[in-house]
């Protein structure tokens, strides 16, 4: 059982900006230790994307469907070094490399390893988020409408991912890891 520090409520830092009644509901679930149950009822199964190669294909398929004209991706990888708290929603970098005498911009997408053991919906959310950054740098209106175009449930999924991150921070247990035969 998770240890709740007495007298303090778990930090809701991943959920800043959501309406207070929504936060109150999450806080109630946390206090009753029912977040895991709530998430598992909604998302019973983990996805099956186990390797960086499989992740590349997964991301590439979504890109081909919605962002064919965006710059090509040179690398897609799960990254264990991405800090779970600071960078859990992934990073997107434009890496400049000298090729011959030309400077070529290459796009890389790194996704925190915690997304290896999540439902497909969560992997899709983070992929859509990082792909949208190929076109829109800032988290602004244009960015989120592109996310919604690629995944109509985007806002709900991002919220649910943030609830899961809150759970991880409070309880520390991966909810879907045991449904996998091996973590690659
Ligand atoms: Zn972002």
* Ligand 1 center–CA 36 separation, angstroms: 25
* Ligand 1 center–CA 129 separation, angstroms: 6
* Ligand 1 center–CA 145 separation, angstroms: 13
**Residue ranges of domains in the chain:** 17-171
* Ligand 1 center–CA 128 separation, angstroms: 10
- State the burial class of residue 62 (Cβ atoms within 10 Å of its Cβ: 0-12, 13-18, 19+): middle
- State the burial class of residue 159 (Cβ atoms within 10 Å of its Cβ: 0-12, 13-18, 19+): middle
For the stretch 48-84, pLDDT in tens is 999 999 999 999 999 999 999 888 999 999 988 776 5
Residues 6+ apart with CB under 8 A from 82: 88, 90, 91, 110, 111, 112, 113
* Ligand 1 center–CA 141 separation, angstroms: 12
**CA–CA separation, 90 vs 74, rounded Å?**
16
pLDDT of 124 over the 90 cut: yes
* Ligand 1 center–CA 90 separation, angstroms: 7
What pLDDT score was predicted for residue 8? Answer: 41
* Ligand 1 center–CA 53 separation, angstroms: 23
pTM (2 decimals)?
0.83
CB atoms within 10 A of CB 53: 11
* Ligand 1 center–CA 89 separation, angstroms: 7
**CA–CA separation, 159 vs 35, rounded Å?**
13
DSSP E strand boundaries for the chain: 73-79, 91-99, 102-112
For the stretch 127-184, pLDDT in tens is 999 999 899 888 889 999 999 999 999 999 999 999 998 898 887 788 998 655 444 4
| Domain boundaries 17-171, CATH class | alpha beta
What pLDDT score was predicted for residue 104? Answer: 58
pLDDT of 102 over the 60 cut: no
* Ligand 1 center–CA 163 separation, angstroms: 17
What pLDDT score was predicted for residue 87? Answer: 53
CB atoms within 10 A of CB 120: 14
* Ligand 1 center–CA 100 separation, angstroms: 32
**CA–CA separation, 122 vs 146, rounded Å?**
17
């Amino acid at each position: 059982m998770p240890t709740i520090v007495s007298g303090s409520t778990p930090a809701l830092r991943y959920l800043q900006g959501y309406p207070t009644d929504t936060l109150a509901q999450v806080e109630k679930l946390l206090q009753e230790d029912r977040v895991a149950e709530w998430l598992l009822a909604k998302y019973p199964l983990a996805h099956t994307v186990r390797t960086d190669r499989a992740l590349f294909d997964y991301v590439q398929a979504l890109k081909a469907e919605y962002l064919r004209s965006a710059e090509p991706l040179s690398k897609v990888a799960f990254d264990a070094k991405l800090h779970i708290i600071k960078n859990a929603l992934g990073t997107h970098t434009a890496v400049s490399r000298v090729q011959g005498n030309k400077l070529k911009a290459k796009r890389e997408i790194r996704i925190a390893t915690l997304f290896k053991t999540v439902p497909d919906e969560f992997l899709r959310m983070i992929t859509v988020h990082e792909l949208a950054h190929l076109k829109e740098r800032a988290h602004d209106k244009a960015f989120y409408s592109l996310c919604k175009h690629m995944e109509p449930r985007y806002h709900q999924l991002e919220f649910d991912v943030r609830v899961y991150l809150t759970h991880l921070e409070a309880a520390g247990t991966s909810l879907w890891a045991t449904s996998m035969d091996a973590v690659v």
